């Protein structure tokens, strides 16, 4: 078949200073994703990669129409194989995996709006991902994480007094912003934590604080997940992927109300489909991960859920290659002695691994 030739793509100049790049353009879903990757590369001190992503995003901003097919991309300058693959994945939507994104892309869909317009069959997670797309793109601040911590603490203590709650992930490492808020929950009396998650989510739901949740049960069995099993990064704790409904603070409410509804609804550019949550509301959607761990695994779960992801990967690599041990968020197994090493604290795990203890704030690898 003859390739479709896109004249705008064919005419695209390769230097940004040769082109007109408007503020509002037609490919923001793709350019947002590319710019996040550019930022990541920047954090990892990979300037070449970062600039490559920014150039690719910039080309799409200058395109006078929405990208309609992978063919369109092929004739564009500055869009290498890698950027093309990234675009293909469209993974910026919560609940959308690479396979679904790929199918949608091949069907010509390019944005959450397209999904709504064409009446795609969406599962519950994807519906939430589309509905709260704008909110979920916005970073979560430490202040917001603190408000959510209070809510989670209240919920957990309402259904199980004596339970312990710990802020995990990026915020435990001292980050100022994150893409979500992570919590680890346990109870000093082993067994008390069993079946805790549905009670927590019920409580939150009754208070109208949950927009979406999907709970998976604990499926960890030491016998089966132990040394015989290939190391797996996914853990088997009872856990809940959720989206919280977070009321805006008094301060930001005030600044919202100074913008009149009329201002917002003029001009079709700023109008949002009804199915998407508006940015001018007095609440926002925030991704929250809740994990429940038995007390005996709490130290391993704490270490596993603090991150960063690279730090975790390197810990496991060190354990395997240098110590002949297998580390997961559940346990540490010593292959030479054929036994599980028990630990009550992260410090003990570092000691077993023959590593100097590194505090959470210095695990931002």
Stretch that binds ligand TTP, among 24-32, 117-125, 177-185, 201-209 (CB under 6 A): 177-185
Which position among 307, 325, 333, 360 is part of the footprint of ligand TTP (CB under 6 A)?
A: 307
Peptide bond preceding 308 in cis form (omega within 30 of 0): yes
Note whether 179 binds Mn ion by CB under 5 A.
Answer: yes
Which position among 72, 144, 182, 346 is part of the footprint of Mn ion (CB under 5 A)?
A: 182
DSSP letters spanning 165-213: EEEEHHHHTT-SEESSEEEEEE-SSTTTTTTHHHHHHHHHHHTT-EEEE
CA distances from 59 to 30, 113, 117, 178, 265 (A): 11, 22, 26, 28, 29
307 interface partner picked from Mn ion, ligand TTP, none, CB below 5 to 8 A per type: ligand TTP
Nearest distance from C-beta of residue 310 to ligand TTP, angstroms: 9
123-106-102-290 Cα dihedral, nearest 10 degrees: -30
Q: Is 275 a catalytic residue?
A: no
Q: Is 150 a catalytic residue?
A: no
Nearest distance from C-beta of residue 312 to ligand TTP, angstroms: 5
Nearest distance from C-beta of residue 110 to ligand TTP, angstroms: 25
Which position among 135, 180, 193, 312 is part of the footprint of Mn ion (CB under 5 A)?
A: 180
Q: Is 289 a catalytic residue?
A: yes
- Please give the Cα distance from 365 to 350 (Å, whole number): 16
Q: In the stretch 232-271, what mask flags binding to Mn ion with x, by CB under 5 A? A: ----------------------------------------
Asked if 246 contacts 148 with a C-beta cutoff of 8 angstroms, the reply is yes
DSSP letters spanning 232-277: -SS--SEEEEEEEEEEPPHHHHHHHHTS-HHHHHSSGGG---TTSP
Note whether 305 binds ligand TTP by CB under 6 A.
Answer: yes
Q: In the stretch 271-310, what mask flags binding to Mn ion with x, by CB under 5 A? A: ------------------x---------------------
**Residues of each annotated binding site for Mg(2+):** 180, 182, 289
Q: Which residues are catalytic?
A: 180, 182, 289
């Amino acid at each position: 078949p003859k390739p479709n030739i896109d004249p705008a793509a064919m005419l695209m100049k390769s230097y940004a200073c040769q082109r007109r790049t408007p503020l509002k353009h037609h490919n923001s879903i793709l350019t947002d994703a590319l710019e996040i990757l550019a930022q990541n590369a920047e954090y990892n001190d990979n300037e070449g990669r970062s600039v490559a992503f920014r150039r690719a995003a910039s080309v799409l901003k200058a395109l006078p129409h929405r990208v309609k097919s992978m063919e369109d991309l092929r004739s564009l300058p500055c869009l290498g194989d890698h950027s093309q693959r990234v675009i293909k994945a469209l993974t910026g939507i919560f609940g959308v995996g690479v396979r679904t994104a790929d199918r949608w892309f091949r069907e010509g869909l390019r944005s959450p709006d397209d999904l709504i317009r064409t009446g795609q069959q969406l599962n519950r997670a994807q519906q939430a991902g589309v509905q709260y797309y704008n909110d979920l793109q916005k970073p979560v601040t430490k202040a917001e994480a603190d408000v959510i911590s209070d809510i989670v603490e209240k919920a957990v203590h309402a259904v199980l007094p004596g339970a312990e709650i710990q802020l995990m992930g990026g915020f435990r490492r001292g980050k100022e912003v994150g893409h979500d808020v992570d919590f680890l929950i346990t109870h000093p009396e082993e067994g008390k934590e069993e079946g805790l998650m549905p009670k927590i989510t019920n409580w939150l739901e009754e208070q109208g604080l949950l927009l979406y949740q999907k709970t998976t049960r604990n499926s960890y069995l030491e016998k089966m997940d132990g040394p015989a099993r290939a190391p797996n990064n996914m853990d088997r704790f009872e856990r809940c992927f959720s989206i919280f409904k977070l009321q805006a603070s008094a301060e930001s409410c005030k600044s919202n109300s100074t913008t009149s509804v009329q201002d917002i609804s003029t001009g079709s550019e700023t109008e949002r489909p009804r199915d998407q949550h508006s940015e001018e509301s007095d609440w926002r959607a925030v991704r929250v991960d809740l994990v429940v761990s038995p007390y005996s695994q709490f130290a391993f779960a704490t270490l596993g859920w603090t991150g960063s992801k690279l730090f975790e990967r390197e810990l496991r690599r060190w354990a395997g290659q240098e110590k002949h041990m297998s580390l997961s968020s559940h346990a540490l197994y010593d292959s030479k002695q054929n036994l599980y090493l028990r630990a009550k604290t992260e410090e003990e795990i570092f000691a077993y691994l023959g590593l100097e203890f590194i505090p959470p704030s210095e695990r931002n690898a």
